[in-house]
Chains A and B, each alone.
Chain A
Amino acid sequence: MNPGPDTFPDNATVSRFIAGDRHAFDEIYSSLASPVLAFLAARSKTHQDAEDESQIIWNQIWKKRESFDGTHIKGWIFQIARNRLIDHARSSKRHDRTSLDDGHDIAERFDPGASIQREEELNAFRDCVKSVGGVFVEAVVRTQIAGESPEDLAKQQGVARATIDTRVSRGKQQLRDCMEQKKI
């Protein structure tokens, strides 16, 4: 049986949390800190930023508990996290106001740009994609990301299925080796 999305934290734990019970807060943290951190990591420049924001957000959650109406605690917590990210992006004034297709401000999705170290990593990755290039990267992208079957790709390119498997394997290995050489 699947107990559904909101079985934990249960109502009793949430009520104790609102009343200021630190053990209840700890239980909620143990259950939801990991998803909140994953959410932040995907939208922050660095993992350290995500960790720092996480502390601020959980501190806010504790302080704002009395204003919480007790319904859908996950939604409430993620709203606090989302608002914090937006405030952070605005206050740092690092973002431009590029709008995405759906009309959301980009600050709601990402702390834009990357850290200097990450920029270097991504440049290295771009170089490696170019240098490995050709049939190897194409085989990786078409079969592992675009979801084409190796059989179909083999037919299109007039090669044996085993050749495609080899190209995928070599493409991945060469990308790995290339990144190793760059020691990023």
Chain B
Amino acid sequence: MTVRIITIPDDQTQWPGWLEQQLVGSHLRELIEELRIVDGLDSSFQASKPLSEILTTKQLADIAKSGIAAIGVKKIPELMSNPDALLDLQEYVLINGSSYWQNVPVDSQLKASMERSRSKLNAIIGDSQTPARPAPIAGNLQKTNRRSLTWIASAAAVLLVGVMLWRMPPHPSGHILGTPGLLANDVSSSAEYLQRIAAAGQTWFDEQPTDEAALIALLEQTRNDCQILIDARHEALSDEERIWLVTKCRKWQGDLEQTLSSLKSGAIDLETARTQADATMKKLVNVLQSGPTA
């Protein structure tokens, strides 16, 4: 067994590169487990702080763009002293990281695992290296048919693009948070855009499901609406604002999912589920009204 914390370089200038490799590699869990064990040996370890209390939105965006070095070496100990925040940071850079992160070297175990998965996946869904090919057409027949085949292929491509455009509306529709036009870039400011989503969120409170099935359906719709917000381009927002919004949406989606599964499993009753969901939606509305600078 390799103890991860004794691989921390003595030279502090190498810490950013080392931490980046932990985040994109296969041993972050081990590192976090070890950090929890040494937790308490030093007073700088505190009750786990969330990532948002350690790094600002701007610092996160800088990390996504240029790596850990962008925030300076002095911030790294604070991250290491809050091991759970490392998980959130990992998720953030894996999803939002620029091409910088694609060039951070990964360990051999991860590479080997990736290749094994690829082989097994090919066995399940078919290998792209051996596509079904038409039988070769000999001589003049091949020449004669080439033009018509090209024409058919072009027509098929045009048809395919048409079908795809028809199937891919710019903003998918949802129930409360993904209503048509809600996410259009026709506003004069990002604040106006967020206010509009907040106002849509407020309509949650107009819904009065009378039984469990109706509340489950409403929760499922709203959870799916959160996914629309997570996946949307949010052209009215800056990159930093979009990242902020998506991070918040994931949290709210998780909260709604939790309420939904507790209600379905019978762990909570209808009234409790409604109270929990109301609290989540109230938070959503308030946070969007205040915006990322609050």
Q: Which of A's residues lie within 8 Å of B, judged by CB? A: 2-5, 7-8, 15, 18-19, 22-23, 25-26, 29, 31, 33-39, 41-44, 47, 50-51, 54-55, 58-59, 62, 66, 69-72, 74-76, 78-79, 86, 90, 100-105, 108-110, 114, 118, 121-122, 124-126, 129, 137-138, 140-142, 144-148, 165, 168-169, 172, 175-176, 179, 184
For chain B, the bracket of interface size reads 35 or more
A133 to B99 CA separation, bound complex (whole angstroms): 42
A179 to B34 CA separation, bound complex (whole angstroms): 13
| B3-A114 in contact (CB<8A) | no
Interface string of B131-169 (1 = CB under 8 A from A): 100000000000000000000000000001000100111
- Residue pairs across A and B with Cβ atoms less than 8 A apart, 23 shown, are A2-B99, A4-B65, A4-B239, A5-B64, A29-B118, A29-B121, A34-B111, A37-B110, A38-B24, A38-B26, A39-B90, A39-B94, A41-B26, A43-B29, A43-B87, A59-B121, A75-B246, A79-B227, A100-B84, A121-B1, A146-B44, A146-B80, A148-B44
| B117-A42 in contact (CB<8A) | no
Known: A34-B106, A37-B113, A145-B38. A5 touches B98 (CB 8 A): yes
Of B28, B73, B98, the contact of A38 (CB 8 Å cutoff): B28
Task: Give 3 closest A-B pairs by Cβ, nearest first.
Answer: A147-B77, A22-B128, A35-B94
| B50-A34 in contact (CB<8A) | no
| B28-A41 in contact (CB<8A) | yes
Instruction: Verify if B58 is at the interface (C-beta below 8 Å from A).
Output: no
Q: Which of B4-12, B185-193, B200-208, B285-293 contacts A (4 or more CB under 8 A)?
A: B4-12
Q: Which residue of A lies closest to B93 (CB)?
A: A35
Query: Interface SS of chain B: helix, strand, loop or mixed?
Result: helix
Q: Which residue of B lies closest to A4 (CB)?
A: B98
Known: A33-B118, A125-B37. A145 touches B254 (CB 8 A): no
A-B contacts, CB under 8 A, total:
210
**B156: min CB distance to chain A, Å:** 11
| A137-B41 in contact (CB<8A) | yes
Known: A34-B110, A147-B74. A109 touches B128 (CB 8 A): no
Residues of A within 8 A of B6 (CB): 140, 172, 175-176
Residues of A within 8 A of B100 (CB): 2
Residues of B within 8 A of A144 (CB): 5, 8, 10
Q: Which residue of B lies closest to A8 (CB)?
A: B99
Known: A22-B131, A34-B106. A72 touches B26 (CB 8 A): no
A43 to B44 CA separation, bound complex (whole angstroms): 25
Q: Which residue of B lies closest to A178 (CB)?
A: B3
Instruction: Verify if B124 is at the interface (C-beta below 8 Å from A).
Output: yes
Kindly name the residue among B41, B172, B233, B239 whose own CB sees the greatest number of chain A CB atoms within 10 A: B41
Q: Which residue of A lies closest to B99 (CB)?
A: A3
| A71-B231 in contact (CB<8A) | yes
Q: Which residue of A lies closest to B261 (CB)?
A: A90
